[in-house]
Amino acid sequence: MEILGIDIGGSGIKGALVDVEQGMQTTERHRIPTPQPATPDAVGDVVAELAHHFSWQGPIGCTFPAIVKNGVVHSAANVDPTWIGTDGKALLEQKTGCPVFLLNDADAAGVAEMAFGAGKERQGTVILLTFGTGIGSAIFVNGQLIPNTEFGHLKIRGKDAEHRAAARIRKEEALSWRKWAKRVDEFLGQMEFLFSPDLFIIGGGVSRRIEKFSSYLTTTSTEIVPAELQNEAGIIGAAIMARILVTSDLDLTKEKALA
């Protein structure tokens, strides 16, 4: 079964068709720069453009870098503030003419990693942390997602953790891998103290270079592994979650047939 997955980011909006049973993209990703300012209307137009690019008329799974509850956006740490209170699901459905499942971007990446990546068949408490412009997070307990965690805003030395340890900060402050890893290490130590996880999955672009800093992560006894799906995780996870739209439609069709 193929579903269109779309990943909305601060610099680019990317989409691809996904085989949700195999957990893999079946087309090349198509990327369009995120409009600036990234208002709801402007972003919605780009999502519609992506759907048109793939000649898509079915369900769409879409990520968004904020708290999303029942399709409504409730935060705007790294997006245009006009999104707060916007029914993103309804907006994107109106723009595309397709049913849409909208969820937090890190949650989507976590869903993909748990289904087909580094968290596959892992039980207990698994925490995915994506290090990029900010720090995204997703937590799973025995495979079940607890949505909309925002661990990147955990206070460390008086600052949000992502303002000290995001990958963006390493570049902006020209930190060595060792100095940056010490900040990441402190953050992981706090996360371990609070949640006693069985596994940390490190995502974001730095996951491809984990050998540069993993030896400096010493304060936690929790197993740490790099994400496996990397830049494809958000798209794949969004598509997996949108499968519920297809299942719901099938259930409704069955109910009508039995009526």
Residue type, 194: L
Q: Cβ distance 107 to 148 under 8 Å?
A: yes
Determine contact, residues 221/196, Cβ cutoff 8 Å: no
Question: For 48-98, how does the pLDDT look when each residue is reduced to its tens digit (9 = 90+)?
Answer: 999 999 999 999 999 999 999 999 999 987 789 999 999 999 999 999 999
* Domain residue limits at 68: 2-107+241-258
Residue 255's pLDDT band, with cuts at 50, 70 and 90, is very low
Residue 43 domain flag: yes
In a domain, 159, yes or no: yes
Share of the chain above pLDDT 90, in %: 89
**Do 94 and 134 reside in the same domain of the chain?**
no
- Asked if residue 147 belongs to a domain, the reply is yes
Name the pLDDT band for 252 (thresholds 50, 70, 90): very low
Instruction: Name the residue with higher pLDDT: 230 or 224.
Output: 224
Residue 248 domain-assigned? yes
**27 within a domain of the structure (yes/no):** yes
Residue 174 inside a domain? The answer is yes
217, 127: one domain: yes
Helix and strand numbers, DSSP H then E, in the chain:
7, 15
Report how far residue 224's alpha carbon sits from residue 145's, in angstroms, rounded to the nearest whole number.
19
On whether both 7 and 85 belong to a single domain, the answer is: yes
Is the pLDDT score of 259 beyond 50? no
One domain for residues 175 and 139: yes
pLDDT mean across residues, the chain: 93
Together in a domain, 56 and 8: yes
Q: Domains in the chain: how many in total?
A: 2
Q: Give the pLDDT score at 17.
A: 98
Distance (Å, rounded) from C-alpha 148 to C-alpha 198?
20
The strand pair at 223-226 and 199-203 is best described as: parallel
113 part of a folded domain: no
Q: Residue 22 domain-assigned?
A: yes
Question: Could you tell me what percent of the chain has a pLDDT over 70?
Answer: 95
Q: Domain containing 51 — which CATH number?
A: 3.30.420.40
The Cβ of residue 151 has, within 10 Å, a number of other Cβ atoms equal to: 22
Q: In which band, very low, low, confident or very high, does the pLDDT at 39 lie, cut at 50, 70 and 90?
A: very high
Alpha-helical runs (H) found in 100-159? 105-116
pLDDT for the residue numbered 247: 64
Model confidence pLDDT, tens digit, residues 134-177:
999 999 999 999 999 999 999 999 999 999 999 999 999 999 99
**pLDDT recorded at residue 219:** 84
